[in-house]
Amino acid sequence: MLDDLEKVLIDASRIRDRVRELARQITHDYADIDSGITIVPIMTGAMIFTSDLIREMPIKMKINLMTVSSYPGKSVRTQGASLLSQQLGDVHGRHVLLVDDILDSGGTLQLVAPLLKQLGAESVRICVLLRKDRPTARAVQADYVGFDIPDEFVIGYGLDYDNIYRNLPDICTLKPSVYS
């Protein structure tokens, strides 16, 4: 598996430090919400990021899930976002933090954020680990961004190619021979 990697884009140490910074900022921003917040990670890619993030946030929270697919199978370019499942519970009147692994086309967040608002969320903020350097990503307002990265296909730290590589501690690129 490690032979498939072209380069490490962001190492585990930098990820850990940035996740802690994001958690402090989010905790500060939601400090006055006595009822707590609702965290909605976009599964499966955001599971590792979300678990590390919430362990650093000493505030009241509920966690509800959504599964959205944008890169089915061996796709290295988005195929458009589609909602596969959701276990949202009642978000009416709640302050929601939508957590995603990567903002590239913006399709996932443009699908999910309005849905949360339609379901009566008091507010919806967006936290992404990565934002690609492309116009479609910059057009979507993310409240919290871990890292801005080049427009490259990345894996690791929850991100996958054909459902492999999620367990890598770093964010990496693959050798083109792996996906060509």
Tokens 């307002």 locate to: 141
Q: Measure the CA–CA gap between 8 and 152, rounded to whole angstroms.
A: 12
Taking the mean position of all CA atoms in its chain, how far away is CA 80? 16
- Angle, in degrees to the nearest 10, between helices 12-29 and 47-54: 60
4 is catalytic: no
* Number of neighbouring beta carbons within 10 Å of residue 84: 12
Active-site residue identified among 52, 100, 101, 104: 104
Q: Which residues are catalytic?
A: 104
